[in-house]
Structure formats: C-alpha cells, structure tokens
Amino acid sequence: MTWTSQPPQKPLIYGSWCNAAKVVASSKHPIIAGYCGDSIFGTTTLVQLLALMDSGSEPTDYESTIEAAHDIIRSSHSVYPYKSQAEFIVGVRYAPSEFAFSRIACLSPGESCVESLKVDRQTGLVGSWGSGHKAYKPKHEMWQRSDAAGFSRAIAGAFFDAIESGIDDKTGGPPQIVGLRRSGAGVVHGLVMNEKRFVSGMEISASAIQSISVPLEWRNRDFERCDPSSMEPLAKAQRQPRPRNVK
C-alpha cells in the first residue's frame, strides 16, 4: 500500500490491538532489536531492518552494524508521512560472549541520535523505555529485593508483573521476548500464559507450532522452560517458584 493522503477512518471493532511485533530476532545472525513509540512506523521499520540484516553476513564489527541500522532507521523516518517518535534498541553479539546494545532515537522528522548502552557481564537491566517504564520500575525494584535478584527470571518476572498491573494504560497484551545466547543466532521466546501460547504478541494454535521455522524457546509465567504442546514445564527444566516476598 502507498499512502498518498490521510487514510480513511475505519469503524472500531475491538477496543485495542496488541499483536504488533515489538521485538524481533534474526534467525541467521546474533542480532535482536525492539522498539517503543509509534507502532506503525516502529513495526514496519523493525521488519525491514531485520530483513536487511538477515540478507547480509554475520556482524564482526559492532560499530559498523549500528551505523548501518541507524542509517536505515533514519532514512525510513525521514520519509514517514506523519509526525512520529520511536526509539529502537539493537543488540549484537560481536564476539563469543561479547554483547553490545545501542539505542537509536527518532525524536522528530530529520532528527535522530545513537546512544551506546552499558552492558554488564552479570545479569542485569540495560534500561527501560516507553510509557511502560513507569510501571516496570517499581516491579523491578521489588524483584531485585527478592532471592531471585541477579537472575534473568527476576527481569522477566518484573516485566510480566508490570504488564499485568495496568499501571500504564498504553501497556498491555501478551509479553514479547527475544534473546541472544553465548553462541548461535537470535532466539524468539514463545510464552505459555493463561493456558494459551503466544509468539510475538500473537496467540498460536498447537497445530501451527509445528510449522514455525524460527528457533523458539518456550517459557511459562514463572520463566520455566516448558513444552508448548502440553504447556507443562519440561521434565529436566529447573523450577522457578515465585519468591515469597514478591507480591
């Protein structure tokens, strides 16, 4: 579709729509990305960015990768027909067990900036953005006071709690999670929540799971590895009970 004028208004069928992809992972290279802000611009640009990244060779120079991502995002934003704001987070593993993340912000037409983010070698929070950060912050602080502090499940648990809290009226829908391991390409995490299966914000049927070609790792509400068919924790999965001091 080409936009040449203001699109016609359509009657609202549902009150909200949460299926837009907010995070993506390359199935070929160690690259992940996500955004917050304008959903149409953000999702469209994210898909285009990963398509271009997937068509190239594996990144060996982090700075060049981010420079290319910035150029792609800035170019797309400069011709977007509406005033919009969005922030993109791009993560790359550029050497074994060496990760780097950058924030690319499109604040106004023709204006963008890049910020390198500090990444600790230990599990921790790189940052939080968008309107939902006000809901996430108190949940993060609560989980970091628990016996799960310092583990990835504390980051995920706080994220799940923040979405479910309803504190931010612009935050909702199924969580979307992607990740980078110490080796291999990016990973999309499927989630089992409320007896349903979700991938990238969409509910997925049991029959469709077999046809999904991207590498998936399934987790449940407690961030335990689980079987998407039975929706039960894997037999050898480490149990991750909710800490008693996290309400």
pLDDT of residue 7: 60
* pLDDT above 70 coverage of the chain, percent: 91
- Here the tokens at position 24 are 């993506």
Mean pLDDT of 134-139: 94
Residue 41's pLDDT band (cuts 50, 70, 90) = very high
Higher pLDDT, 96 or 35: 35
* pLDDT above 90 coverage of the chain, percent: 52
Supply angle C-alpha 75, 77, 78, rounded to 5: 65
Interval 56-66: pLDDT, tens:
777 667 888 89
pLDDT of residue 59: 66
- The Cα–Cα gap between 67 and 78 comes to 16
Residue 39 has pLDDT above 80, yes or no: yes
Higher pLDDT, 247 or 54: 54
The partner residues of 219 in beta bridges, in order of sequence, read 191, 225
Mean of all residue pLDDT scores within the chain: 88
CB-based contact 88:112 (threshold 8 Å): no
pLDDT of residue 88: 96
Residue 138 has pLDDT above 90, yes or no: yes
Which stretch of 95-99, 180-184, 214-218 has the lowest confidence by average pLDDT? 214-218
Task: Write down the domain spans for the chain.
Answer: 19-119, 131-247
pLDDT of residue 180: 92
Mean pLDDT of 75-85: 90
- The Cα–Cα gap between 161 and 151 comes to 16
What type of residue is 58?
E
Q: Which of 18, 15, 16 is nearest to 175 (CA)?
A: 18
Q: Which of 132, 86, 138, 142 is nearest to 112 (CA)?
A: 86
Interval 183-229: pLDDT, tens:
899 999 999 999 999 998 899 988 888 777 665 889 999 999 999 88
Interval 110-123: pLDDT, tens:
789 999 998 887 88
